[in-house]
Amino acid sequence: MLPRVDGPEHDRTDAPAVRLRGHHLLCILTYVGRGYSPAFVAAMDAVVERIRTGAPVRIVDGPDDICAAHVAEAPDAHCHGDSAAERDRRAVHDVAGLMGLGGEGAIRLTADRLDAARELFRTGRSRSACRGCSWADLCTSIAADGFAGARLAPADAGEGA
């Protein structure tokens, strides 16, 4: 993993951090309420709502708070596979500097960070993790439409820690 990054935008509260795998950091940018199953959608909705209301995010290796429901339904889910881990690695590489990701630290996804991440996504500069993903075409169309309908609106996230 990357070294820990500290600063005022990092979590300094007792609020529990959302556990998010690397490629889900990209997925939340275009999430419009679709997923692998109703349980997965409910988990994604809950995570997006927590982030929207200011919960910090901690990047984890392997299954995260979103995967939990999918893994419970299908223990052999792709969440444990090499392709998901590779997507995580690529996503973190693409957005680590922009997001201030690193080590054990948790960050807040401020409106500025979300706007910047969406710009990287829209222009394809953070899409290496999306290669081979069955959702890539949907996400591309959402980005091309200015992220209309995305449940995590850029202005929702608060500024600061």
Which whole number is the average pLDDT over 34-61? Answer: 90
Q: What is the pLDDT of residues 60-75, one digit of tens each?
A: 988 999 988 766 666 6
Q: Which amino acid is it at 149? A: G
What local confidence, expressed as pLDDT, does residue 100 receive? 67
pTM for the model stands at 0.80
Rounded percentage of the chain residues whose pLDDT exceeds 70 = 77
How far apart are alpha carbons 99 and 120 in whole angstroms? 11
Mean pLDDT of the chain: 81
How far apart are alpha carbons 68 and 63 in whole angstroms? 7
What local confidence, expressed as pLDDT, does residue 156 receive? 42
In sign, the C-alpha dihedral spanning 31, 46, 87, 79 is negative
Q: Are 30 and 143 in contact (CB under 8 A)?
A: yes
pLDDT at 137 over 70: yes
Structure-model confidence comparison of residues 48 and 96, the more confident one: 48
What local confidence, expressed as pLDDT, does residue 1 receive? 26
How far apart are alpha carbons 10 and 55 in whole angstroms? 11
The residue count for the chain: 161
Q: What is the pLDDT of residues 104-132, one digit of tens each?
A: 568 888 888 889 899 999 999 999 999 98
What local confidence, expressed as pLDDT, does residue 157 receive? 40
In sign, the C-alpha dihedral spanning 105, 122, 133, 74 is positive
Q: What is the pLDDT of residues 77-96, one digit of tens each?
A: 777 678 889 999 999 888 88
pLDDT at 26 over 90: yes
What local confidence, expressed as pLDDT, does residue 80 receive? 66
What local confidence, expressed as pLDDT, does residue 158 receive? 42
